[in-house]
Amino acid sequence: METTARTSLGRRLDTRTARVCVVGQGYVGLSLAAAAAVEGFHVTGIDVDAERVAALAGGELVVPGVEEALFVQAAESGRLGFGSDYDPVATADVVVICVPTPVHEHRPDLSMVESAGRAVGERLRRGALVILESTTYPGTTEQVLRPLLERPRFRAGQQFWLAFSPERIDPGNVKYGLRTTPRVVGGIDEASTELAAAFYSTVVDDVNPVSGCRTAEMAKLLENTFRMVNIALVNELSALCAEQGIDTWEVIEAAATKPFGFMPFHPGPGVGGHCIPLDPTYLAWQSRRDTGRPFRLVELAQDINAEMPAYVARRIGDALGDRGVPLPRAEVMALGVTYKPDVGDLRESAAVKTLEMLAAKGARIRYHDPFVPRLQTDVLRLRRTPLTAANLEAADAVVVLTPHSQYDLDALTRRAGFVFDARNALRRRGDDRVVTL
C-alpha cells in the first residue's frame, strides 16, 4: 500500500488534482490556500472563526498581511472555498495545519495544534499527507501531533504521511513573498519529506528538504532567535551610545561599510509581531525542560528587548524635560502604532507598549496610523487623530514609532516643535528639533 499510495499522491500533486485543506485562515494559512488555488488545486480553508469564514467566502479580504492580488485571483478561480467544520478533511489529499502557537507565561501553548490535530485525526483518510506549519519547539510534529493523527492500523509513514515546514511569510515585504521565499521541509521519513517537498514545489520556487521534522522545527527557531538576539544587541548599544553622546545610527552605517562579517540591525522601541517576540521562548522553554539549563543568551536578549518601550518612554520624557515641558500632561502625537511599517498588525506592538508607558506617566496620547482607526488596550482607548497641521503643531512631541511608507515624514514634521524619531526614519542630523533613539 505504501508504494502505491505514495506514487498515487505524487501523481495527483503533479497534475494538480489533489484536494487540499488548509486549517487556520490567518495570514499564513490564507496565503498558502490562495497560492495553492491559483496553482490549480481545489482548496478548502478551514477556520473556527465563523465570521471570518463568511467574509472570506464573500470575497472580502479581512486578514491583514495577505497579498490582495493573490486573494482576488484565487477567489476568481472558483477553486478556493471556506468552512468552519473539518468535514472536507475526509476527502483531502493534503492537509496543512497553520494555527497559532502563542506563549502564555513564558510557556508554549499548543492547545490549538492539539485541537486541530484531533479534528484532523478523526477524519484523515488513507494515503493523505499532513503538514504542520505552526512555529513550535523541536519534537512537536512527532511527539504531539503524530499521536493525535494515528489510530489502530493507521500509522504515519504507512497509511499516511507527515511533515513539518515552517512558514516564512514576512508581511509587507514586497521583495520576498510566498513564492520567492525558499522553503524548508522535513518529514518523519523519506517519503513524507519527498511528498511535502513536491507539494510546496507547486507554490514555492525553491524547496530545501532536510533530514527530519526536528531539524526543520529548529531551523525556524534559529531564524527568529538570530534576529531577536541581534536586535537586542543594537538596542543595548543605542543606550550606551546615547549616554556617551554618540550617534547610534552613524555607528551602524559605518560598521555596515564592511563587506563581510557584519549584518546591520537597527534599534527601536522593541520587537513585535507574532514571531520574533515569541519564537525564541520555545527554544528557551525547551532547553530548561529537556536539559535543565537556561538558554542564557536568548533569555538575556528577551529581557533587553522587553525593556525598550520603557526606555524609549523615558528618553522622550527626558527630551521634553530638557525643553521645559514636564511629561505629565504633555501632548504626545504618535505616528504609527503597528508592529512594523506597512502592516496592519498590532500583535506585540512595541509602539503600543511605548504609548502605554507614556500614558502611565501622565502624558496625553494621540496617534495616527493608516491601518488602525481605533486603538483599544487595557490602558488606552483612543480614536485615530487626523494628520492636520493644527494637530501636529499642538503636540509637545511628535513621536515617530512606525514609519509607514505612505507618510511624508519631512512634510508632517516640518512644523513640529519637537520630534522624537525612534526609527531614524527622518535621517535628519544637526536638527535641534529632532532627537533619535
Pairing mode of beta strands 419-421, 374-376? unpaired
Helices (H) and strands (E) counted in the chain, each on its own, are 15, 17
DSSP category for residue 257: T
CA distances from 371 to 272, 336, 344 (A): 16, 9, 5
DSSP helix/strand/coil, 130: strand
- Which residue type is seen at 159? Q
CA distance 245 to 249: 12
DSSP helix/strand/coil, 103: strand
8 Å CB contact between 367 and 337: yes
The grid coordinates listed for 190 are 523519506
From 21, 98, 241, 275, active-site residue: 275
| CB within 8 Å of 324: residues ≥ 6 apart | none
The count of C-alpha atoms lying within 13 angstroms of the C-alpha of 9, restricted to the half-sphere facing its C-beta, is 30
The grid coordinates listed for 38 are 491559483
Query: Is 241 among the catalytic positions?
Result: no
The end-to-end CA distance of the chain, in Å, is 62
8 Å CB contact between 212 and 205: no
CA distance 268 to 252: 13
- Which residue type is seen at 26? G
DSSP helix/strand/coil, 336: coil
8 Å CB contact between 399 and 425: no
Q: What are the φ/ψ torsions at residue 362 (nearest 5 degrees)?
A: 100, 0
8 Å CB contact between 313 and 361: yes
CA distance 116 to 25: 13
Residues tagged active-site: 275
